[in-house]
Structure 1
Amino acid sequence: MGVEIMGRGRVVTTRPAPAPHRGRRGKRGAGGWAVLALVAGVGLLMLFPFWIAVINAFKPAQDYIANGPVSLPAELDFSALADFWSGVDFNRKLLNSAVISGSVALIAVTLSLLSAFAIGIGRIRGRVWILALFMLAFTIPQEALVYPLFVLTRDLGLYDTMTGVIIILAVLQSAFGTYMLSSVLGAFPPEVLEAARLDGASRFQVLRLVVLPLTRPTMAVLVTFFFIWTWNDFFLPLVLLPSADNQTLSVALGALSGQYTSDPTALAAASLAGILPALVFFLLFQRTLMRGVNLGAVK
């Protein structure tokens, strides 16, 4: 029924809004099931190496030789994990990796934000060419840069120091962060920036009070990526950190396997110990990562 409302000599009839149609959910077609099966298969393939590392990390060497790598352990044996933990000074390597990865992530994001603010909002001259240069920078392989970086760190007294590796990796990864944030800040609403300037805000205040809160989800995504990339980096720490006291966890894992010697259970235990910290970090920041990705997709 409608409701009649008298107003200024005329009658206005209002009708209740029609209820939304709740039809049955359409059946999944053959193509949908095929895509679901493909995604499930790819997910299982990605989880299979982790599963192999888990079951072999706690398997005795005799059990591994007798039953192979795919079988479940007949009994739990923590000796391989304990030997790796004490043999490579795992606590020290874990601390080195955490310090380097965390420092690189924070410094690289800060450099990316400052550079992207100048390029995307400051509208400096040659903006397109600068972005092309940054894009070229993060496509250069590390193998092409290792000798110049080795000479540079040696001459500056930063060779075999975590400070040198942090500076190099932060600068290298900030190229990708600058390119990504510049595209976000390039589409920043100019009305918001103009209103802030009319209120008397300086450039630093615009960056701190306007740009930073709105780009925080994107920066959280970059922090997560930079941390995991640095944690898994092997080549530059191998070359620039030769001493055992400064080595990262990835370099310590690579030293366990040689041309003539290999212990599969020890390698599985070492792989599991190296994977778990990065996995825990990813799970802690998963919600922040997905929120930033979804926000970037909506924008």
Structure 2
Amino acid sequence: MKTRRFRPLTPIVAGVLTVVVLLVLAPMVLVALNAVKAPEEYSNKGPLSLPGGLYLAGIRTFWERVDFTQVLLNSVVISGCVAVLGVLLSILNAYALGIGRVRGRNWFLVAFLVANLVPQESLIYPLYYMATQLDLYDSKFTVIVIFTAIQSAFGTYLLSSVYREFPPELLDAAAIDGAGRWRTLWRVVVPVSRPTLGVLFTFFFVWTWNELFIPLIFLVSNENQTVPVALGVLQGERQMDATLTSASALLGIAPAVIFFLVFQRTLTRGVTAGAIK
């Protein structure tokens, strides 16, 4: 009978991880508690007290004030389109650079790497000028195109390194079966790399959801605003109490957290796929 060897560092690592998890969850729990706490109760007992009852007027007021249904739909549409289009564009680019081995592919990868390092602030003026000249300012389509290009630059760089190590036996078997490059891509390469694509999709969605700067510049009308923009604009008006502020923060982060939890298994599968033969 085998005995499990005791590792002295295991309790220490578990304790450190527990502390880190509590530090991450504590602000979210505090926001959730204050979002359902009456303003009078917040003023009398402070932000760390437990709510005496379920006060939903703050959430209802914020929802109606910013038309949160429309704002939420805008964020879902923009983030979902960017995630799908960004993954598709990354697949096509990485397939050409990683498996197709096009001439000068290293220079292309350097260009994509540099594109990831360029700050968004330096892109605002030329993008703003192009959008106004094409009559696409204050349009969700413009923001989708911009973020698709930005996210796919990272996705191309990551997938190219993955596809460069793609098993050649699978490609040879597909060629023997008479599959062309297009069929090989969608019938062989994409199914094998699905875990990595799932990670990219999740990251693209969450990153786009949390973006504030570019949507704040390009989406000025209320019917086109995203969740972060609506939160920033409303808080900038200085017309909210602590309960309403907590309610807005809770509604702002809840969809992204739910999405992340739904796709948690996809993330785990994608991270561990490379370590499992």
Residue 27 of structure 1 pairs with residue 6 of structure 2:
yes
Match of 2:235, SS? coil
Show CA shifts across 1:35-60 (max 9, x none). 22221111111111101111000011
1:168-207 equivalent positions in 2, closer than 5 A:
168-207=146-185
Instruction: Give, as a single letter, the amino acid of the residue that structure 2 aligns with 1:150.
Output: Y
Using the TM superposition, name which of 139-148 and 88-97 deviates more. Answer: 139-148
Are the counterparts in 2 of residues 105 and 170 from structure 1 also a CA contact under 8 Å?
Answer: yes
> Where does the alignment leave 5 or more consecutive residues of structure 2 unmatched?
none
Deviation at 1:259, TM superposition (A): 7.3
Instruction: Say which of 178, 194, 213 aligns to 2:191.
Output: 213
Structure 2 distance, partners of 1:195, 1:39, is 45
1:129 aligns with 107
Q: What's the TM-score once normalised by structure 1's chain length?
A: 0.89
Of 121, 143, 149, 2:127 maps to 149
Amino acid corresponding to residue 153 of structure 1 in structure 2:
A
Matched residues in 1 for 2:204 and 2:275: separation? 20
- Measured against aligned partners, the alpha-carbon deviations of 1:167-186 in whole angstroms (never above 9, x if no partner) come to 10011000111011111100
d(CA) in 1 for partners of 2:267, 2:234: 33
3-state SS of 1:255 partner: helix
Q: Deviations over 1:198-234 (max 9, x none)?
A: 3221110111111111011110111011011111111
1:139 aligns with 2:117: yes
- Following superposition, the deviation at residue 125 of structure 1 comes to 1.4
- Counterpart residue number, 1:69: 47
Q: Which residue of 2 aligns with 1:56?
A: 34
- C-alpha deviation, 1:260, in angstroms: 5.1
Identity %: 50
Query: What is the total number of aligned residue pairs between the two structures?
Result: 277
Task: Determine helix, strand or coil for the equivalent of 2:271.
Answer: helix
- TM-score, structure 2 as length reference: 0.96
Contact 1:135–1:176 (CA<8 Å) still a contact in 2?
yes
Moved more, 87-96 or 138-147: 138-147
Contact 1:104 1:170 (8 Å CA) reproduced: yes
What is the aligned partner in structure 2 of residue 236 from structure 1? 214
**What letter is aligned with 2:136?**
L
User: Is the Cα contact below 8 Å between 1:256 and 1:267 reproduced in 2?
Assistant: no
Whose helix fraction is larger, Structure 1's or Structure 2's?
2
1:279 aligns with 2:257: yes
> Of residues 226, 238, 256 in structure 1, which corresponds to 2:234?
256
List alignment gaps of at least 5 residues for structure 1. 1-20
SS state of the match for residue 75, structure 1?
coil
- CA contact 1:56–1:265 (8 Å) conserved in 2: yes
Describe how 1:156-175 pairs up with structure 2 within 5 A.
156-175=134-153
1:145 match: secondary structure: helix
**1:81–1:266 Cα contact (<8 Å) kept:** yes
CA distance in 1, matches of 2:14, 2:111: 40
Q: What letter corresponds to residue 62 of structure 2 in structure 1? A: F
Structure 1 residue aligned with 2:65: 87
Aligned to 1:9: none
Instruction: Indicate the structure whose relative CO is greater, using CA pairs within 8 Å and at least 6 residues apart.
Output: 2
Distance (whole Å) between structure 1 residues aligned to residue 135 and residue 251 of structure 2: 32
Contact 1:218 1:296 in 2 (8 A): no
Question: CA shift at 1:139, angstroms?
Answer: 1.8
Output the aligned Cα RMSD: 1.4
Deviations, residues 228-251 of structure 1 (Å, cap 9, x unaligned): 111111111000000000000111
